[in-house]
C-alpha cells in the first residue's frame, strides 16, 4: 500500500528542474507520510478491539526480542506500538477472553479517589495488586519468599489478604502501597510542602480551555519512584493527555511497561472508561482512546495462553456497551453501581501467572 501511495503522490504532484526535484522529493515524502498516516488511522479506527489486540500478540511473538527482566521470568519484547479505539463504536473490552470488568472499575475508582491502600480493593474482592505488598511484607519481616506458583505462596497470600481486611493497624502498615497512581493524580507533592490535585485541575482546564495542549496528568514522579517500588511498583501507565475536538473528548495514554497478556486488556478498558467519565463530567461526547506502549512484552510463560487466544480470532464477538449513571457530574461521587456493562458475551477467561 505504501508503494502505491508513493507513486500516486509522485504523479499527482510532479515538480520539474533541479531545484524542483529537491522540492518534489521533500513534498512527496511529506505527502506520502500524511496520506499513509491518515489511511492508517482510518484502518485502525475501524477495527475491533480484539483484532487490534490479536495483531499485537502475533507481532510480538513473531518479531519480539527475547530479553531478561526484573522478575526473572523472561519476555519477548519490542519498543513502541499504538492502537486506536473509537469509543462511539462500543466499549473496547476483549471478547476473545473474559475480562473482569468489576475489578477494572473498582481499581479505577480507587485511583480517582486518590487511595493507595490495598484494603479498599481487598474489601471488594479485587486481587490485581495483592502480590507486591505481600512480597514486601515477607521481605520486611525476614521471611523467605516462596515461588509465586507454589502452594506455600498461595496459602500465605490468602492469609495476608484476610489480615488486610480484618486488622486495621495491619492494613495501615502493610496495605499501604506508597505514593502510587492515586497519590500522584490527586496529591502530587510540591517543593514547598504543598500538593497538587492534578485530576481536579485538568477537569477545570478542559471546561475552561479545551484547546489547551497541557491537558496532561503524570504519575511518573522521579523523586518517588524508589518509594513506590517498596510495596508496589512504579507506574506502568505513566502519563496521559486529553484532547478536545468537535465537542468530543479523546485521551492518549503512554504506558512505559506493558504486560501484554494480563495488563494491557485492563489498561485499554480502564482508560476508555476513564475517558467516558471525564467526558460526562465536562459535558462532552466521547472521542477516541489511543493506547501507546513503550516496552511492549509477552512473558515467556504466557506464550501458550497467547496462542490459545489467537486461535479464537475466527469467533470475535460484538463489542459490549457501557452505561454510566448520567446524574453523576463530580469525580468523587461515582460508585460501582453507577456503571452497567451490557451485551457482553465473551469466550471463557484464560488464566496466566503474574510476574512479581
Chain centroid to CA 220: 14
* Residues near 195 by beta carbon (within 8 Å), at least 6 away in sequence: 187, 188, 189
Helices 101-112 and 263-281: crossing angle in degrees, nearest 10, is 60
By three-state DSSP, how is residue 48 classified? coil
Query: Among 236, 251, 258, 282, which one carries the catalytic annotation?
Result: 236
Phi, psi of 44 (to 5 degrees): -65, -40
Q: How far apart are CA 85 and CA 10, in angstroms?
A: 32
Cα dihedral value 232, 237, 238, 239, nearest 10: -150
> Regarding beta strands 195-196 and 285-299, do their DSSP bridges make them parallel or antiparallel, or are they unpaired?
unpaired
Q: Which residues contact 220 (CB under 8 A, 6 or more apart)?
A: 184, 234, 235, 238, 239, 256
Instruction: Calculate the alpha carbon distances from 184 to 46, 192, 274 in Å.
Output: 34, 16, 16
What DSSP line would sit under 244-272, residue for residue? EETTEEEEEEEEEEEETTTHHHHHHHHHH
Active site residue 236: yes
C-alpha distances out from residue 278 to 200, 236, 284, 341, Å: 10, 21, 8, 18
What are the angstrom distances between the C-alpha of 17 and each of 7, 9, 12, 20, 23?
19, 17, 16, 5, 10
Give the end-to-end CA distance of the chain in Å, rounded to a whole number. Answer: 42
- Residues with a known catalytic role: 236
Amino acid at each position: 500500500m505504501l508503494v502505491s501511495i508513493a507513486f500516486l503522490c509522485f504523479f499527482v504532484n510532479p515538480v520539474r528542474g533541479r531545484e524542483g526535484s529537491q522540492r518534489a522529493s521533500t513534498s512527496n515524502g511529506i505527502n506520502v507520510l500524511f496520506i499513509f498516516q491518515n489511511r492508517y488511522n482510518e484502518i485502525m479506527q475501524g477495527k475491533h478491539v480484539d483484532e487490534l489486540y490479536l495483531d499485537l500478540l502475533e507481532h510480538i511473538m513473531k518479531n519480539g526480542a527475547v530479553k531478561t527482566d526484573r522478575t526473572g521470568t523472561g519476555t519477548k519484547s519490542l519498543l513502541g506500538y499504538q492502537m486506536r479505539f473509537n469509543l462511539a463504536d462500543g466499549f473496547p473490552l476483549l471478547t476473545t477472553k473474559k475480562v473482569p470488568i468489576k475489578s477494572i472499575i473498582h481499581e479505577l475508582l480507587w485511583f480517582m479517589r486518590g487511595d493507595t491502600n490495598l484494603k479498599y480493593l481487598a474489601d471488594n474482592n479485587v486481587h490485581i495488586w495483592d502480590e507486591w505488598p505481600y512480597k514486601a511484607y515477607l521481605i520486611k519481616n525476614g521471611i523467605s519468599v516462596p515461588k509465586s506458583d507454589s502452594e506455600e505462596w498461595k496459602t500465605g497470600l490468602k492469609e495476608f489478604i484476610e489480615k488486610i481486611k480484618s486488622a486495621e493497624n495491619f492494613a495501615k502498615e502493610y496495605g499501604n502501597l506508597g505514593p502510587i497512581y492515586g497519590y500522584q493524580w490527586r496529591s502530587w507533592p510540591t517543593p514547598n510542602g504543598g500538593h497538587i490535585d492534578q485530576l481536579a485541575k485538568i477537569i477545570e482546564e478542559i471546561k475552561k480551555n479545551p484547546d489547551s495542549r497541557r491537558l496532561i496528568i503524570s504519575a511518573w514522579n522521579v523523586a518517588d519512584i524508589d518509594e513506590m517500588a517498596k510495596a508496589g511498583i512504579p507506574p506502568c501507565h505513566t502519563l496521559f493527555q486529553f484532547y478536545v475536538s468537535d465537542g468530543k473528548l479523546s485521551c492518549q495514554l503512554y504506558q512505559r511497561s506493558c504486560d501484554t497478556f494480563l495488563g494491557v486488556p485492563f489498561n485499554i478498558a480502564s482508560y476508555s472508561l476513564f475517558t467516558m467519565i471525564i467526558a460526562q463530567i465536562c459535558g462532552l461526547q466521547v472521542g477516541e482512546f489511543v493506547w501507546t506502549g513503550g516496552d511492549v512484552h509477552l512473558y515467556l510463560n504466557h506464550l501458550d495462553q497467547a496462542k490459545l487466544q489467537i486461535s479464537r480470532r475466527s469467533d470475535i464477538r460484538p463489542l459490549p456497551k457501557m452505561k454510566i449513571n448520567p446524574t453523576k457530574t463530580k469525580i468523587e461521587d461515582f460508585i460501582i453501581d453507577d456503571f452497567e456493562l451490557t451485551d457482553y458475551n465473551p469466550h471463557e477467561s484464560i488464566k496466566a501467572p503474574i510476574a512479581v
